[in-house]
């Protein structure tokens, strides 16, 4: 089944996607990760995206939609859309794209996490610069400070995980992404999962949804 995983910044989309890849063999399409890779590789796309990301703003719809279309054209299946769509315009464009490609989305899973918890998760998050593994200074620190357990890469804090940028991201989420709940309810695909529990409990719910 193809899945949309959505929710506020820090809700656990990336963490749950990693488990779905590892245990269910699914493929993740994360627009945030694609942009970060483009920035690392200093491509035109990366240069365009970086100015928006560093400020905590959304990258313009046309740029995001074009990038997702390219990935979907590579005939992926059993995919998780992580961080896309993020606006109603993106959701409508996705419907068009999928129709053209004869593909569909089974469920749009919303991870519900209270704002107070999101702030703590985001300010404490650390990420491996090489393999993208996700840590948290309190709940999931790497064994050796600043070094990734999995690949030995450098563990760093994302520029957009600084407190002042997080505020803008959360505001944009409320304004532009939160209306997707109504969009997917209307489409009969909306499922809500309580994301404010252990990663294993959250994963167990998602597994049941896609079973």
Decide if 183 contacts 4 (C-beta within 8 A). no
Strand pairing partners for 80?
Answer: 3, 28
| C-alpha neighbours within 13 Å on the C-beta side of residue 65 | 15
Q: How far is the CB of 81 from ligand AP5 (least distance, A)?
A: 9
Considering only residues 65 through 104, tell me which ones interact with ligand AP5, judged by CB under 6 A: 83-84, 86, 90
Active site residue 121: no
CA distance 95 to 78: 16
142 forms part of the interface with ligand AP5 (CB under 6 A): no
> Pick from 31, 197, 185: which is nearest to 112 by CA?
197
Catalytic one among 55, 129, 140, 158?
Answer: 158
Q: Determine which residue in the list 28, 80, 105, 125 makes contact with ligand AP5, applying CB under 6 A.
A: 125
Least Cβ distance, residue 24 to ligand AP5 (angstroms): 16
Q: In the chain, how long is the greatest CA-to-CA distance?
A: 48
Note whether 20 binds ligand AP5 by CB under 6 A: no
Catalytic annotation present for 158: yes
**Two structure tokens written together for 119:** 């702030």
36, 86, 107, 121: the catalytic one is 86
Task: Provide the token pair at 36.
Answer: 């970060």
Whole-angstrom distance, CA of residue 101 vs CA of residue 93: 12
What does the alpha-carbon distance between residue 14 and residue 134 come to, in Å, rounded to a whole number? 8
Plot region of 78 (φ>0 → left; ψ -120 to 50 → alpha; else → beta): left
125 catalytic per annotation: yes
Identity of the residue, 18 or 103, whose beta carbon is nearer to ligand AP5 in the bound complex: 18
Active site annotation includes 23: no
Among 48, 136, 162, 189, binds ligand AP5 (CB under 6 A): 136
Q: C-beta of 28: minimal distance to ligand AP5 in Å?
A: 10
> Which of 32, 133, 155, 191 lies at the binding interface for ligand AP5 (CB under 6 A)?
32
Positions that interact with ligand AP5 (CB under 6 A): 7, 9-15, 31-32, 35, 52-53, 56-59, 64, 83-84, 86, 90, 121, 124-125, 134, 136, 139-140, 160, 169, 198-199, 202
């Amino acid at each position: 089944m193809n899945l949309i995983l959505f929710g506020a910044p820090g809700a656990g989309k990336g963490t749950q996607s990693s488990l779905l890849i590892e245990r269910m063999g699914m493929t993740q399409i994360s627009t945030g990760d694609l942009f970060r890779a483009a920035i690392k590789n200093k491509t035109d796309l990366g240069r365009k995206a970086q100015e928006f990301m560093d400020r905590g703003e959304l990258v313009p719809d046309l740029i995001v939609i074009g990038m997702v279309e390219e990935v979907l054209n590579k005939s992926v299946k059993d995919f998780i859309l992580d961080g896309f769509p993020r606006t109603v315009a993106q959701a409508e464009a996705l419907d068009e794209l999928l129709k053209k490609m004869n593909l569909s989305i089974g469920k749009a899973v919303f991870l519900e996490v209270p704002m107070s918890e999101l702030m703590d998760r985001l300010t404490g998050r650390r990420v491996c610069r090489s393999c993208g593994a996700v840590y948290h200074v309190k709940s999931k620190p790497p064994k050796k400070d600043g070094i990734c357990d999995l690949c030995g890469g450098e563990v760093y804090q994302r520029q957009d995980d600084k407190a002042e940028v997080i505020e803008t991201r959360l505001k944009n989420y409320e304004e532009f992404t939160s209306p997707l709940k109504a969009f997917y309810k209307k489409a009969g695909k909306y499922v809500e999962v309580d994301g404010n529990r252990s990663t294993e409990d959250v994963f167990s719910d998602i597994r049941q949804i896609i079973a």
